[in-house]
Amino acid sequence: MNDSRVITGVKGLDEILNGGLVKERAYLVRGGPGTGKTTLGLHFLKKGIEENEKSLLITLTESKQKIKKDAKKRKLDLKKVEFIDLSPGSELIKNNEEYNVFPTNQVEEKPLIDSIIDKIKEIKPDRIFFDGIIQLKYLTNDNFKFRKKLLSFIQFSLDQESTLLLSSESNRNIADDDLQFLVDGVINLNFNSRRRTISISKFRGSDFIKGEHTYKLNKQGLIIFPKLQPPTIKSDIEFNFCSSGLKQIDNLLHGGIEKGTVSVITGPSGVGKTTLGSQFIKNAIKNDKKAILYTFEESKEFLIKRANSINISLEEGEENGNLIIKDIDPSKCIPDEFAQKVREQVEDNEVEMIMIDSITSYRLAYQYSTSNNEIIKSLHTLAHYLKKRGITLILTNEQKKLTGSFKITDNNISHLADNIVFLRYIERQGSLIKVIGVLKKRLSGFENTLREFKITSNGLKVGEPLNDLRNILNGTPELLDNTHRGAN
């Protein structure tokens, strides 16, 4: 057998298979109704035509006309694909039109598999997709005979130097265990109320990316988003400081946040989390570093306008190519797809800083399509991937309470962070003010005092340490008298 690869034409699948299917072997794609088995097979055949190969589709379920009509909707051109239409509604059974493969009397007189074999000898296809092969079981009550005939067909196809893809509808009424034993690889498609997933349960002769990977069916066909894999190469990261561009904030952080770390900016609504993160982005692009800002909370236009109003200009960075701002519509983008978008941007551009605004909106956006544990896991994987590539990641996080008992996050994601900067409201002499502080820094020390934090039309203003107050984290600080000050 040949160890060279056959590109499937399905975006993401070849990556999961470490380069594609192994040539001249047999594979089974299985799943329930509507999971995309036929669409995957059509991609496989179309890619063969693009590679100047001969492609053959054998169908026992849907007619040639219906398959072509559905393929056209997904922009899959099947004009050069050969067909053997054995579907229940096929004209093959009714009359002998030109496109028929076998006349009626031939079907009656000759076993179906033998007839297919004759056509394969005639066409000599490089790729064969047999759609609905499990239906052959209905032609015989003898499982042993079925298995023997099917094994003979598979072996014949491989002897003809074809790469064979079979589809089977997995259900309780008719098992496809025989097929799974006979083939060299098994691709499983699953669709539930939350998401579509694909996994590989068998792949002889090669390693593959294990686990469940999400996919979409849309106008472009079937698109797979492989689980993000941390880079295998070890990056030599120099932990240089990424400055905010504001002296007082850098003083709090003893120089800034380190390159290649994950920073969480946490606080209640309206306290300035996005603004503070944008300040780091602004300073990065000012120093000719490339950055990406992903916003789940507001449109790109609104974010730019709001930043301009407080003297944090982001437009210049966009114009000179140092900044990319992407507003993400979660109804059209699942977590693994988002991770794929980030990865493509990182690998195509020399990105040094990424900001995601915010974790809270990211989680809420995907809670109906993905479990909370999976969402947090996907975020952890993304953060780990970016750290391995030496990219600085800033995450904003919204807390529910404006004041009261201090809590870092409501999502149990503080373990992701190398650095935690918090913003909060406090009441001071009858007025509500904002304060900023640092709670965690893995790679260096930090200032353990709090400072007043202001957002003005001229930008961010950070005051001197609030050494005259206590109980600040409870939101109701008390003024220290001279006795307490002396004790400190």
Residue 218: both structure tokens together: 């849309």
- Whether the predicted pLDDT of 42 surpasses 80: yes
pLDDT bin (cut points 50, 70, 90) of residue 409 is low
Which of the residue ranges 169-173, 215-219, 466-470 has the most confident prediction, judged by mean pLDDT?
A: 215-219
Domain boundary among 193, 225, 257: 225
Residues 467 and 420 both lie in one domain? yes
What's the DSSP call for residue 83? E
CB 35 within 8 A of CB 66: no
Question: Range of 416's domain?
Answer: 241-487
Residues 335 and 475 both lie in one domain? yes
Cα→Cα distances 396→174, 230, 271, 290, 422, Å: 50, 23, 11, 19, 10
354 or 101: which carries more pLDDT confidence? 354
Residues 220 and 140 both lie in one domain? yes
Read off the pLDDT of each residue in 303-323 and give the average, rounded to a whole number.
93
Which of the residue ranges 91-95, 97-101, 328-332 has the most confident prediction, judged by mean pLDDT?
A: 328-332
Of the candidates 300, 365, 293, 297, the one whose C-alpha atom is nearest the C-alpha of residue 335 is: 365
102 or 296: which carries more pLDDT confidence? 296
The answer as to whether 190 is a domain residue is yes
**Sign of the Cα pseudo-torsion (349, 357, 384, 440, in order):** positive
Within 10 A of 72 (CB to CB), how many other CB atoms are there? Answer: 11
Which of the residue ranges 40-54, 138-152, 234-248, 455-469 has the most confident prediction, judged by mean pLDDT?
A: 40-54
Predicted local confidence at residue 255, as pLDDT? 94
Q: The CATH number of the domain where 202 resides is what?
A: 3.40.50.300
- Whether the predicted pLDDT of 114 surpasses 80: no
The answer as to whether 232 is a domain residue is no
Q: What is the number of structural domains in the chain? A: 2
pLDDT bin (cut points 50, 70, 90) of residue 140 is low
Q: What is the dihedral of CA 77, 80, 86, 92, to 10 degrees?
A: 110
The answer as to whether 236 is a domain residue is no
Residues 294 and 164 both lie in one domain? no
Cα→Cα distances 68→46, 54, 82, 221, 429, Å: 12, 17, 12, 13, 74
- Whether the predicted pLDDT of 435 surpasses 70: yes
pTM of the model: 0.83
Predicted local confidence at residue 234, as pLDDT? 57
Residues 435 and 374 both lie in one domain? yes
Residues 257 and 372 both lie in one domain? yes
Residues 64 and 121 both lie in one domain? yes
Of the candidates 155, 106, 163, 105, the one whose C-alpha atom is nearest the C-alpha of residue 129 is: 163
| Mean pLDDT, the chain, integer | 85
Predicted local confidence at residue 361, as pLDDT? 82
Contacts of 86 (CB under 8 A, 6+ apart): 58, 59, 60, 92, 112
- Whether the predicted pLDDT of 112 surpasses 90: no
Contacts of 437 (CB under 8 A, 6+ apart): 252, 421, 422, 449, 450, 451
- Whether the predicted pLDDT of 106 surpasses 50: no
Residue-wise pLDDT for 176-194, tens only, equals 777 888 999 999 999 987 7
